[in-house]
Amino acid sequence: MPLKAALEDLRTFRSVRFDVPRQLATEAAASAIRPPTESVEVRAPPDLDEIAERIRRALIAGLSPNSSDMLRAPWCVWDGVSPLADEPELLDRYLRLVESFSRKSHFRRLAGAYAVRFPEDSKALQAVAECLARLAPKFTGAWSAAHQSFRIFDAAEAPARVASAAIVRHLSPSELLSIEGIGNLAAEAGLAEAAFAAGLRHIAAAEMQPAHRLEAVSSWCGKRKAGAPFERHRGLVADSLVLPHAGNIPEKPIRDRMLAFLLGKFGDPRTRQAKWSPMNCTNVVKRWLIEQSLRQFLDVVDEIALERHWKYRRAFWTSVYDRNLISDACVIFDKTGAARARRMFDGETPYSIWSKGGSKPIERGHSCLLLRIGNGLVAEWSHNGRCNIWHDAQDPSAPELHSESYMSNDVMAPASDRRWTRRAYNHVAPDGYSWQSKVADEIFALTNTRIMQSEYTVR
């Protein structure tokens, strides 16, 4: 089944698991007849450069390398100090020798080196692939069968074809090839890596619901908890999951599951910038995390706060978020709040905790929302705490976001001095929008954007 069609079927599944296509009895019987398993030599010989030099001398002289060197020559195509791939004329002579000898041992060795290395950026890959494709029909065995099934020696098509078959059969690319008789091809082999990337690109392009896409990406990445099977493609893992939904934000529960998957794999992009540098979706994920932090704070505190007070804070800060004025956010919980957050949100969501110390005692359930707005920083306390504002995040008294823990004094703004402007407002007269208008003035000073009262009026 072509990969595009297989992924298209996912849209109609009631389950988010991949469905295995039905198979006729004759097809099942035929597929059970496997060619003998062929072992792949996965490491170059230790004396590779000496072998390569003898092969180069022979080819330059118009001679055939000796039989032992011919068996090891495939490693000289892309490996060593002077690989044949860098000398197209010598590579062509070697490949013509392989074809003229037409020996299965040479074919199998070259096929193994091709699959293990599979350097997509090498011009020599196409020449080697074409040579193997011409030889494959002459022999029986796993390599010839794999070419017949997946066009494995078509360098342009092989990754997508292998990915298609592997996805449909719930296997990794290397597991698929192993079942097909290519016994010990390493999971990190070049062809397996290219097929992994091809699978992600097709998952990204397919139309499917967010939950189905999460299941597809998660299944394709295997059981490894942290990182991607191929770290070079970690950006593709995240992008294939997030970017198809960047303009049509998934519902909150599935969005939380997506974030839990991504943070489990690659950490928080707000604190692990280098890890997220290959991702094109970083800004989208950060935006989702800001909304999640705001929702954590509002939903968790909502369970214990007085509705007549809290509904005004929810309306105000939601209006600030909707204006896209919050560039970063994190939440501080005590043990009670952290337990509520774990119960209310799928997976592990990032938050900080209170540490002992500070002039303000931390009451049961006390929480604080830290927001970066413009050049400033806001610390919005729950309960009877104040809304603290630093007009410059570089202020030495301003807290750093995403610390593991905070004392109460860390998120309380001291009085202004000659250099630094700081404010702190009590949440008085919320139904008269007193504190809201004052904080809106401060946000205007930070961003030059006015939040109108109509935007945070409680209806």
Please give the residue that has the higher pLDDT: either 170 or 412: 412
Handedness of CA 338, 340, 343, 346 (dihedral sign): negative
Strands 376-381 and 367-373: antiparallel
Task: State pLDDT tens for residues 398-425.
Answer: 999 999 999 999 999 999 998 999 999 9
Helix (H) or strand (E) holding 327: strand 326-333
- Helical H segments across 306-448, by residue range: 307-322, 335-344, 434-447
Report the half-sphere exposure of 332 (CA within 13 A, side-chain side).
30
CB-neighbour burial class of residue 22 (10 A; exposed 0-12, middle 13-18, buried 19+): exposed
pLDDT band at 7 (very low <50, low <70, confident <90, very high): low
Query: At 379, is the secondary structure helix, strand, or coil?
Result: strand
Q: Please answer whether residues 216 and 13 qualify as being in contact, where contact means their C-beta atoms are separated by less than 8 angstroms.
A: no
pLDDT score at 12: 45
Task: State pLDDT tens for residues 333-362.
Answer: 998 888 888 887 766 678 999 998 888 888
Task: State pLDDT tens for residues 15-72.
Answer: 334 333 444 443 444 444 455 566 666 566 778 899 999 999 999 999 999 999 999 9
* Closest listed residue to residue 264, CA positions, set 232, 303, 307, 221: 221
Q: Which residues fall within 8 angstroms of residue 334, CB to CB, at 6 or more apart?
A: 353, 354, 362, 364, 365, 366, 367
Q: What is the 3-state secondary structure of 405-433?
A: EECHHHHCCCCCCCCCCEEEECCCCHHHC
Q: What is the pTM of this model?
A: 0.80
* Count of C-beta atoms within a 10 Å radius of residue 295: 21
